[in-house]
Amino acid sequence: MPIILTLETTCDETAAAVIDEKLQILGSSIASQHELHQRFQGVVPEIAARAHLERMLPVIDQSLRGAGISVGQLDAVAVAVTPGLANSLVVGLMAAKTLALTCQIPLIGINHLHAHIYACQIAARRNVYPCVGLIISGGHTHLYDFPNAIEPRLLGGTIDDAAGEAFDKVANMLNLGFPGGPAVAKLAERGYPHRFAFPRSFLHDARLAFSFSGLKTAVRYALGGYGPVDFRTLQIDPQLAADVAASFQEAVAEVLVAKSMQALEQTQRPRLCVGGGVAANRRFRELLMAAADQRGVEVIIAPPELCTDNAVMGGIAFERYHAGRFDPLDLDIVPGLVR
């Protein structure tokens, strides 16, 4: 039975996984960098790349040990090559190329965004295609039509900030630390989600587009008014902060759900699959499942451990492996490109 080692270094998670043909996870390891970037309130690309260099080999070794195999027993090595931070992607690709060359095994480049949707198939343990795929993460908010796992058609996406980025920026205004998504969600539990009528861009537009920049600006005005403000020293009433967090979260979730339902109507696909870090947000899941039940459509959301960046979702490489679609050793990264 073929076994593939998958590598993930698109942003600030160094991850490796050993997966077999039945999509069983034989070994998996993730090294987070949150502690390195927290004081900067966001990911610093150069720091991320250096951390990947330090952690890549230990993560691979731990995954192989967990699987109880050696590199000589691998049938292929796969690595995310697009999209992502350029220097981070290079670290993973160089590691994968080295293994492919020294072990004389095929090299498979994978799309990080497509892999997020494949995480739904790994979790469901059945074929989920065709489907509409919604990827919502720190860097991406996009809808795809997936006739199969590896040949999607982009339906639309954000024209400015991604949903996860907006969560991080709002968390920064509220002095909640980084990453911001879980902190904002926790604060929102104590807030009233309808206190502020924050904008819901493109909500009633036929285009499958997202925009969260105006929402982020509205939060800034709600917290600090219209003049200059230093959020590091601003004293915010605790209930006001909770109400802003809840109202912000509600606006994001409503737009994501509405556009997902719209995409299903336009494509007539039988199901929606959702991946990416923001997919772990509980309020979003509640609204999405309610909308899906009302319309009688199937929704599959990746489990929380497969929402954030990981190498397990690199199991999508088996789709290319079985099709014989391997990559040459001069494969290059494609940072920041949404396909």
294-331 residue pLDDT tens:
999 999 999 999 998 999 999 999 999 999 999 999 99
Close Cβ partners of 168 (under 8 Å, ≥ 6 residues apart) = 41, 42, 138, 178, 179, 180, 181
Q: For residue 136, give the 3-state DSSP assignment.
A: strand
CA distance 300 to 289: 9
Supply the pLDDT for residue 177.
86
CB 203 within 8 A of CB 255: yes
Let me know if the fold of 3-116+309-322 is the same as that of 118-306. Answer: yes
* In the chain, domain spans: 3-116+309-322, 118-306
Q: Which tens digits make up the pLDDT trace of 20-67? A: 999 999 999 999 877 777 777 778 888 888 999 999 999 999 999 999
Supply the pLDDT for residue 269.
96
Q: Which tens digits make up the pLDDT trace of 243-293? A: 999 999 999 999 999 999 999 999 999 999 999 999 999 999 999 999 999
* Dihedral, 21, 25, 27, 30 alpha carbons, nearest 10: 120
Residue 106, Cβ neighbours under 10 Å: how many? 20
**Weakest-pLDDT range from 47-56, 77-86, 123-132, 315-324:** 47-56
Residue 230 pLDDT greater than 90, yes or no: no
Instruction: Tell me what the mean pLDDT of segment 165-191 comes to.
Output: 93
Considering the domain delimited by 118-306, tell me its CATH architecture: 2-Layer Sandwich (3.30)
Domain 3-116+309-322: CATH class, spelled out? alpha beta
Q: For residue 164, give the 3-state DSSP assignment.
A: helix
Q: For residue 31, give the 3-state DSSP assignment.
A: strand
CB 33 within 8 A of CB 10: no
Q: How confident is the model at residue 338 (pLDDT cuts 50, 70, 90)?
A: low
Supply the pLDDT for residue 327.
98
